[in-house]
Chain A
Amino acid sequence: MSAATPAATPLRRSRLAEILEALPHPTRWRHVVGYMLAVYRREWQGSVFSAFIEPLIVLVGLGIGLGALVGDKASVITGGASYVAYIAPALMASQAMNLGASEAAWPILARIAWVRIYHAIVATPLKPADVMVGATAFIAGKVAFAAAFFAAVLTVTGIVTSPLGAIGMVGVSTLTGLAFAAPIVAFSVTQKSDQGFAFIFRLIITPLTFFSGTYFPIESLPLPVQALAWCTPLAHGVALSRALAFGTPITNLWFHLAVLSLWALVGLTAAIVLFRRRMLK
């Protein structure tokens, strides 16, 4: 490939070599996580505070306020449980979605377009794929951390009684956060300004909270809307989270996990391909 090539003839590269070069290094991405942790260390107090206070506000405001309004009628959809208990595990999954989505938007674009440090990182031994894997792994960690707080609040308040269930819920929330974060990272790496994020949040993230079985069962929606809801990650996260909280048997466990994992994996692959295209011009 490096043999004397006449200047006019473009080099031919083997497809396989290109794919291998595009793949992440097995361990180097951890230095990107280390970098993000160093940034996080400067702001963690605020972040911990909001991770702790947010579930409380949501539970008190929506659960108790709205729960009082709904009153006994709630048992029609909750199967006897209180409305707070019904929406709490779903709100945990939806918080994971919100955090995963926002962490995948501004912090990623900023490092490409505004502070531009990603340009410096891909000039080190790290490859674009290492940056994407590290950045996404950090988001997953941040979502897991917030979810753990949420689960602790639910356990302390007695809404969730099984510790094993609570741990499972943290796992589900993390996967849900990833299922949103990865494709949104892929979107962010193609953006020049943050205008596109308004579209994502107003037209996708916020509506999903209402159409994914968070506040009322998905079955009460028209069939086409139901079908659409099941194509997105949140409905699956909510279904799993609620079943784990209630300790009811989980139907379609593998289907739920498969949809969530698919979003995360396809999203990450797209992020790597698109980021590489942007950085290695």
Chain B
Amino acid sequence: MTNSASGQPPLIRARGLTKTFGDRTAVAGIDFEVRDGEFFGFLGPNGAGKTTTMRMIAGVSPRTAGELEILGRDPDRDGSLIRAQIGVVHQQETLDMELSVRENLLIFGRFFGMPRPAIAARADELLELFQLADRAKDQVEPLSGGMKRRLSIARSLIASPRILMLDEPTTGLDPQARHLLWDALQRLKRGGTTIVLTTHYMDEAEQLCDRLVVMDEAKIVAEGSPRQLIEQHASREVLELRFPGGTENLDAAVLEGIGDRYERLAERVIIGCENGEAAHARALEHGLSPESWLVRRSSLEDVFLRLTGRSLDE
């Protein structure tokens, strides 16, 4: 699964990548590869080591041990050269609040050594692409969270990087702003940019990523496409039965017979199964009478629960 099928060398390649801070191990010898044009995700709860891994890739955190190659180079030796080809969007905003929207882009182009006319042209293109053109002359401070985030991404793309790295890009955004951002990222991917993101949102990883690794406690616990992960680690569908009066009196033998496995919560029973409708019919045959029920496809949330025994929400 980790060997690139196309025969092209991977853009990012890590073997036994390790980072320790004193006694604390933030990343414990992980292996992964990111291929050209791929949308790659690190999924996991806060503190799993995602951001540290991103920082090592971005050439701002020297690794403690292991191998790391970005665009065929070692960040220990060629930090500046690697950073010249990577766009980074931090979890917290890092924009200059006093400058205008457009000035934030222009200044950044200079950091990449671009000539001024090229920066100006690229800045206008990005303002258009991220729907910020009408705010170009405004100061950054009063912009909405979604706009600031779009500007951060636009800024990271000023030098047309090979790789775009996003750390928790939609944390703190309202649903509408999230969807706008997802659309923009999908457009970028179609344009050929390789995108690496970290997230603790299951739906985000599922929507965006071609391939992802699930991180937990400094290690990678699973790897694959969202579909593969769900197929490998969860049943196809989930049947949820609601019992407002409580679930404690339900017969375990009955519940076991409905699907592949079940989980008993306070007012709900969650049943993993191949076919939710059929499982529901079986539940009724066994004499269960839930107040309501729903069938949904298994999600990465179910995968994470299965792999770690915990929910992703902090």
Chain A residues near B (Cβ < 8 Å): 1-2, 4-11, 13, 17, 21, 25, 28, 31, 34-35, 38-39, 42-43, 115-117, 119-127, 279-281
Contacts and interface: CB of A to CB of B under 8 A. Distances in A.
Nearest to A11: B65
Given A4-B67, A123-B83, A13 B76 contact: yes
Contact of B65 (A5, A39, A123): A5
A25 B79 CA distance: 13
B83 A124 contact: yes
B16 A6 contact: yes
B217 interface: no
B297 to A, nearest CB: 37
B97 interface: yes
A123 B77 contact: no
B74 interface: yes
B227 interface: no
A25 B63 CA distance: 23
Contacts, number: 114
B25 to A, nearest CB: 11
Given A1-B76, A7-B29, A11-B76, A115 B94 contact: yes
Interface of B: 15-18, 20-21, 29, 55, 58-67, 69, 74, 76-77, 79-81, 83-84, 86, 88, 90, 92-99, 103, 106-108, 110-113, 155
Given A7-B17, A123-B90, A124-B112, 16 more contacts: A7-B18, A9-B65, A21-B79, A28-B111, A28-B113, A35-B107, A35-B110, A38-B103, A42-B99, A115-B94, A116-B94, A117-B94, A117-B96, A120-B88, A123-B60, A125-B83
Given A115-B95, A125-B112, A1 B83 contact: no
Contacts of A21: 79
Give the dominant DSSP class at A's interface. Answer: loop
Nearest to B62: A280
A253 to B, nearest CB: 39
B79 to A, nearest CB: 7
A11 B63 contact: yes
A194 B176 CA distance: 37
B80 A125 contact: yes
B110 A31 contact: yes
Contacts of B155: 120
B111 A126 contact: yes
Contacts of A2: 67, 69, 74, 76-77
Contacts of B84: 124-125
Nearest to B80: A125
A127 B81 CA distance: 11
Nearest to B69: A2
Contacts of B64: 10-11
Contacts of A38: 99, 103, 106-107
Contacts of A127: 79-80
A277 to B, nearest CB: 11
**A115, A125, A281: which has the most chain B beta carbons within 10 Å?**
A125
A121 B111 contact: yes
Contacts of A1: 74, 76-77
B83 A7 contact: no
A124 B61 contact: no
A6 B74 CA distance: 16
A4 B14 CA distance: 11
Contact of A34 (B21, B58, B69, B107): B107
A124 B108 contact: yes
Contacts of B29: 7-8
B149 to A, nearest CB: 13
Contacts of B77: 1-2, 17
A120 B86 CA distance: 12
B65 A124 contact: no
A281 B195 CA distance: 23
Contacts of B61: 280-281
Contacts of B98: 39, 42-43
4 closest A-B pairs by CB: A7-B16, A120-B94, A7-B29, A124-B111
